[in-house]
Structure 1
Amino acid sequence: METTDTAAVPQATRTEKPWAVVLLLMVGWMIAFIDRTSMSAAMADKTFIGTFSLSHVERGWLGSAVFWSYAVMQVPLGWVVDRYGVKWPYTICFALWCVATAATAWAESLTGLVVVRLLIGATEAIVLPASYRYIANHFDENRKGSATAVYSMGGKLGPAVGAALAAALIVQYSWKSMFILTGLIGLLWLLPWLTMVSNDFPSKAALAATKRQAGRVPMRNLLVSPVVWSGFIMTFCFSYFLFYAATWMPAYLVEQRHLSMMHSGIYTSVSFVLSAAVALAAGTAADYFIARGHDPVSVRKKFIVVGAFGGMTILFGAYAESQTAALFWNVASLAMVGLATTNNLALSKMTLIPKPAIGLNTGLLTIATSLAGGISASLSGWLLHVGGSYTLPMMSVCVFLLMAVLSALLLMKRKWAPRINDLN
């Protein structure tokens, strides 16, 4: 079945360099993650906890707030980028979330913190639909894995840089200074973005053509496709692990493994950096096999299954008696899941998805990311409260990774890709 459509797809201008833009998109996602997960470092700071008198459960609510609005805005903003382009919707949302991050410093209550986190989540919802729309428009199948791998490094390096940076700023200055600096410095990203990316806001004629093409893959076609549901499940499961690590890993290392704030930030950073490196290698390796004639679906599914089982080794760390062994499995499990993450993104968001619906499908799947973030933060907080240690939260990670394996094997099949309607 045909799963792509080249009509009404904007192409890069002669002055635009797609690989350079992918690198810029990677940095944009990294900044989004820094602003989204900087709260994790704050929630490990005794001064911050004392200022707002936060319980374990309230920390879970606060950690999850950003993901609920992020989920709600995915489909609307996916619809926007499918019709109105990438550049200007991304520009507006980027500026808003950076300002909201800085404004966190002036929150005076738990309610105020939740409100500003909801605003950050709503505006950051543009990131993935816009980014995958750009990659789908400018890269062939045998380069999508590499482009996705480069781009997805932002999702790993963001927590890595954010954990170390936020911890250092809190130790050196205060949690308030941390939010102000991370928010306002991020605005510098807009300078290269505005100069490097071509204006893809459509003319009236182009908008009409784009709407016709997008209408060939209506929401119903996505919702009845097992491929889309498989992508939803896998995206949720892998995101659950990543957001558990981003949200609770610093606190786990401080509270259960007795590391200092600074050392917890370093170990969290190392874990995400290694995961990013493995994800880049896995995406490039998958593209290598695809370019030599192997089936893209089969290749990417194999990487997904191996990576999911590698991530389950986090449970070894939960039962490790020595600090050294616990830290090793903490780092190794997150690194090994990188084998799966890039190939899941390429497979579920582009390989089997018609081009006219890339933004809308990405919005749907990013709802899974958002739900995973919210559920991971709050469920882990509740499991920590119930169990008194981080063993139960780590067990929940393994359960979801097993679900990802079953979803890939049973549902992700070419014959079940979303259908493209004929033009009237």
Structure 2
Amino acid sequence: MCIGWGLGNLDRTVINYAIIHMADELTLSATQTGWVLSAFFLGYALMQIPGGILADKIGAKVVLVAAVLMWSIFTGLTAIAGSFVLLVIIRFLFGIGEGGFQPAAAKVIASVFPKKHQSKAMSLLLASAAITLVLVPLIGSYLIVSIGWRLVFVCAGLVGLVVTLLYRRYIDVPPLKKAGKTSVAKVFKSLLHRPLMWLLLGTFFAIYAVNWGLTSWLPKYLTDIRGLALIEVGLLQLVPGLIMLVCMFCYGVLIDKLSLQANKQVAALFATGIVICLYLMFFAETIVGFIVYQSLIMVFITYIVVLLPSILLKALPQAVVGTAMGIANTGGQLAGFATPVVIGFLIDYTDGSYVSVCYLLMACAAICVPNMLLLSTSVDTHSSDQS
């Protein structure tokens, strides 16, 4: 699963570097650039809940294989985009294809691993995305400059087709357990009656607004505002990427060892740290200061990103984990859709300034503080009915 998740993140992340050349070639405004970066997340968000339901009903392996196949096809098709509209359509369908992967992966983790090891398993899965964030800035930026963005997407799509065949042959998921005939509507309604789900959905939205806002626009910010070449951006982004990777591995173990009360206090403290570091990062006078504060943001944000699905895995019955992850992660992917578009609009509206972008991301991070502090009550309330 880690190979597939890493590839999926590579396919969706490389466009954040390719968009610099794509925008020039297709003469895209900042607002149009935002729509291109967001289109994937709209499709991805729309597929979260259906993907989770399908994983619970027909099995996680079917959803995983279908997801890798579809996103690989549309990654490759990105290379033929010759206009803004066609590019948006392809990226949207790419998001639809990948949307079922994470709910299905959560279903596998819930089925295979005991609860005391599920945070570690989830952190290993998420770490594959962190590896991508290390590789894409360096290798991706080099390939985009040397062979062109179109050929990069063709190669990524072909690798995905190979991974699809490997998944079909080697992924081994326990068969679905026989369960009572509980309707999808009843499960869905039951989950939405839990305060936990609404808090998770809101917190997923807030933290991923910061995450995807930074991931999607930082390369362009560093080239346009800080005056760096694309290769220089790739080299500098290795530092926060490597820090995020190390944190992914460490936090999975730490979260399993700490109590829920301790975890939510650490997460609230780290969310406060994100707010402060965002301000210091955008107003840093030197590029060294910028990277230092960005790296601290990665330390803080990674903890929350690992903790949120871990809470869900431990608080809910295995039979509904796929659907529940789909609901919660919808918030994160709607943020991935909305944030780049809003940022693009703000940049156009303020004649290229990123000051309003800084305050937007700070506000999103601040939302996480009360949400994390409220999560424990929500989990405790329902902890007695998990059988």
Residue number in structure 2 paired with 1:235: 204
Residue number in structure 2 paired with 1:8: none
Q: Indicate how the Cα distance of structure 1 residues 211 and 104 shifts in structure 2: closer, same or farther if over 3 A, else same.
A: farther
User: 1:44 is paired with a residue of what secondary structure?
Assistant: helix
C-alpha contact 1:238 1:401 (8 A) present in aligned 2: yes
The CA distance in 1 between the partners of 2:185 and 2:343, in whole Å, is: 41
User: What one-letter code is carried by the residue in structure 1 that aligns with 2:12?
Assistant: R
Single out whichever of 176-185 and 150-159 deviates more from structure 2. Answer: 150-159
Cα distance per residue 1:107-166 (max 9 Å; x no partner): 121111011111110010111101110111122222111111111112322333233332
The CA distance in 2 between the partners of 1:244 and 1:199, in whole Å, is: 34
Deviation, structure 1 residue 214:
7.0
Question: 1:368 pairs with 322, 328, 331, which one?
Answer: 331
C-alpha contact 2:247 2:299 (8 A) present in aligned 1: yes
| Aligned residues: CA RMSD | 2.2
Residue number in structure 1 paired with 2:267: 304
Residue number in structure 1 paired with 2:225: 256
Q: Indicate how the Cα distance of structure 1 residues 419 and 104 shifts in structure 2: closer, same or farther if over 3 A, else same.
A: farther
Deviation, structure 1 residue 331:
2.5
Residue number in structure 2 paired with 1:13: none
Q: Indicate how the Cα distance of structure 1 residues 151 and 324 shifts in structure 2: closer, same or farther if over 3 A, else same.
A: same
C-alpha contact 2:52 2:325 (8 A) present in aligned 1: yes
The CA distance in 2 between the partners of 1:353 and 1:155, in whole Å, is: 25
The CA distance in 2 between the partners of 1:377 and 1:412, in whole Å, is: 31
Cα distance per residue 1:198-247 (max 9 Å; x no partner): 25565xxx6xx346367696111111211111111111111112111221
Residue number in structure 1 paired with 2:319: 356
The answer to whether structure 1 residue 220 and structure 2 residue 185 are counterparts is no
C-alpha contact 2:77 2:154 (8 A) present in aligned 1: yes
Deviation, structure 1 residue 194:
3.1
The CA distance in 2 between the partners of 1:236 and 1:211, in whole Å, is: 33
Question: 2:248 pairs with 250, 275, 279, which one?
Answer: 279
Q: Indicate how the Cα distance of structure 1 residues 418 and 298 shifts in structure 2: closer, same or farther if over 3 A, else same.
A: closer
Residue number in structure 2 paired with 1:406: 370
User: 1:212 is paired with a residue of what secondary structure?
Assistant: coil
Question: 1:340 pairs with 263, 288, 304, which one?
Answer: 304
C-alpha contact 2:75 2:157 (8 A) present in aligned 1: yes
The CA distance in 2 between the partners of 1:122 and 1:51, in whole Å, is: 26
C-alpha contact 2:265 2:372 (8 A) present in aligned 1: no
Residue number in structure 2 paired with 1:172: 146
User: 2:20 is paired with a residue of what secondary structure?
Assistant: coil
Output the TM-score relative to the length of structure 2.
0.92
User: 1:417 is paired with a residue of what secondary structure?
Assistant: helix
Cα distance per residue 1:283-335 (max 9 Å; x no partner): 2112233xxxxx3x213213322331232212101111122212221222123
Deviation, structure 1 residue 270:
2.9
The CA distance in 1 between the partners of 2:144 and 2:129, in whole Å, is: 22
User: 2:102 is paired with a residue of what secondary structure?
Assistant: helix
Q: Indicate how the Cα distance of structure 1 residues 302 and 364 shifts in structure 2: closer, same or farther if over 3 A, else same.
A: same
Residue number in structure 2 paired with 1:20: none
Deviation, structure 1 residue 421:
9.9
The CA distance in 2 between the partners of 1:172 and 1:153, in whole Å, is: 28
The CA distance in 2 between the partners of 1:194 and 1:165, in whole Å, is: 28
Cα distance per residue 1:40-60 (max 9 Å; x no partner): 112122xx2232110000001
The answer to whether structure 1 residue 127 and structure 2 residue 101 are counterparts is yes
The CA distance in 1 between the partners of 2:134 and 2:344, in whole Å, is: 21
The CA distance in 2 between the partners of 1:119 and 1:269, in whole Å, is: 30
- Provide the identity percentage: 22
Query: What is the 5 A alignment of 1:5-404?
Result: 25-45=1-21, 48-198=22-172, 200=174, 209-210=178-179, 212=181, 218-289=187-258, 295=259, 297-312=260-275, 313-347=277-311, 349-387=312-350, 388-404=352-368
Deviation, structure 1 residue 345:
2.0
Q: Indicate how the Cα distance of structure 1 residues 171 and 113 shifts in structure 2: closer, same or farther if over 3 A, else same.
A: same
C-alpha contact 2:79 2:150 (8 A) present in aligned 1: yes
- What are the ranges of 5 or more consecutive residues in structure 1 without an aligned counterpart? 1-24, 290-294
The CA distance in 2 between the partners of 1:53 and 1:32, in whole Å, is: 27
User: 2:237 is paired with a residue of what secondary structure?
Assistant: helix
Q: Indicate how the Cα distance of structure 1 residues 179 and 418 shifts in structure 2: closer, same or farther if over 3 A, else same.
A: farther
Deviation, structure 1 residue 181:
1.2
User: What one-letter code is carried by the residue in structure 2 that aligns with 1:194?
Assistant: R
User: 2:228 is paired with a residue of what secondary structure?
Assistant: coil
Q: Indicate how the Cα distance of structure 1 residues 269 and 217 shifts in structure 2: closer, same or farther if over 3 A, else same.
A: farther
Deviation, structure 1 residue 273:
2.7
Q: Indicate how the Cα distance of structure 1 residues 136 and 30 shifts in structure 2: closer, same or farther if over 3 A, else same.
A: same
Deviation, structure 1 residue 74:
1.2
C-alpha contact 2:2 2:125 (8 A) present in aligned 1: yes
C-alpha contact 1:104 1:113 (8 A) present in aligned 2: yes
Deviation, structure 1 residue 372:
0.8
C-alpha contact 1:275 1:336 (8 A) present in aligned 2: no
Deviation, structure 1 residue 61:
0.8
User: What one-letter code is carried by the residue in structure 2 that aligns with 1:279?
Assistant: M
The CA distance in 1 between the partners of 2:386 and 2:287, in whole Å, is: 57
